[in-house]
Amino acid sequence: MEVASSAHSLIEIAALGIELLATALIICAIVAATAIYLTGLLRRVANPPAHYTQYKQRLGRALLLCLEILVAADIVRTIALDSSVQSVLSLGLLVIIRTFLSWSLILEVEGRWPWQREPSEKRIHKVVDDR
């Protein structure tokens, strides 16, 4: 019984560690992206709208990464610690919500849905297909 309790505690600590990592990454990304943005403003960048777009893209990419890490923490916690039907359904709902948020961020950052090819990929495939 003590071994199971010890394993349970280790898994809980690991899941918490993963969540703390995601939180730290979000904070670091916000600070770094904001510092780069403000430095550019102080230097009076040539194209302020493009500079702002780069700022949004940096933040969006960091949030995408952190959402994936948070999903991993939820999976570890649910599968290893509490695999009841209710917790699995809660995990499914969390994954659906975070997937929707990820898709929204990808649309905002890249201007396309995740399942759409990038414009350069479309041209490459067209050239290959035409041969």
Query: Domain limits of the chain?
Result: 2-130
pLDDT, position 123: 53
Q: Taking all residues of the chain, what is their mean pLDDT, rounded to a whole number?
A: 84
Evaluate if residue 79 carries a pLDDT over 90.
Answer: no
Structure-model confidence comparison of residues 110 and 37, the more confident one: 37
Phi-psi bin for 45: left (phi > 0), alpha (psi -120 to 50), beta?
A: beta
Query: Region 88-94: what's the mean pLDDT?
Result: 88
> What is the 8-class DSSP label of residue 117?
P
pLDDT tens, residue by residue, 22-77:
999 999 999 999 999 999 888 887 888 888 889 999 999 999 999 899 988 888 88
Which residue in 91, 67, 68 sits closest to 81, CA to CA?
91
Evaluate if residue 129 carries a pLDDT over 80.
Answer: no
- Whether the model clears a pTM of 0.85, i.e. scores above it, the answer is no
**Residue 55, C-beta contacts closer than 8 angstroms, at least 6 positions apart:** 33, 34, 36, 37
Structure-model confidence comparison of residues 119 and 57, the more confident one: 57
**Residue 21, C-beta contacts closer than 8 angstroms, at least 6 positions apart:** 69
Alpha helices in 43-84 (DSSP H): 48-81
Structure-model confidence comparison of residues 22 and 3, the more confident one: 22
Q: In Å, how far from its chain's centre is CA 105?
A: 9
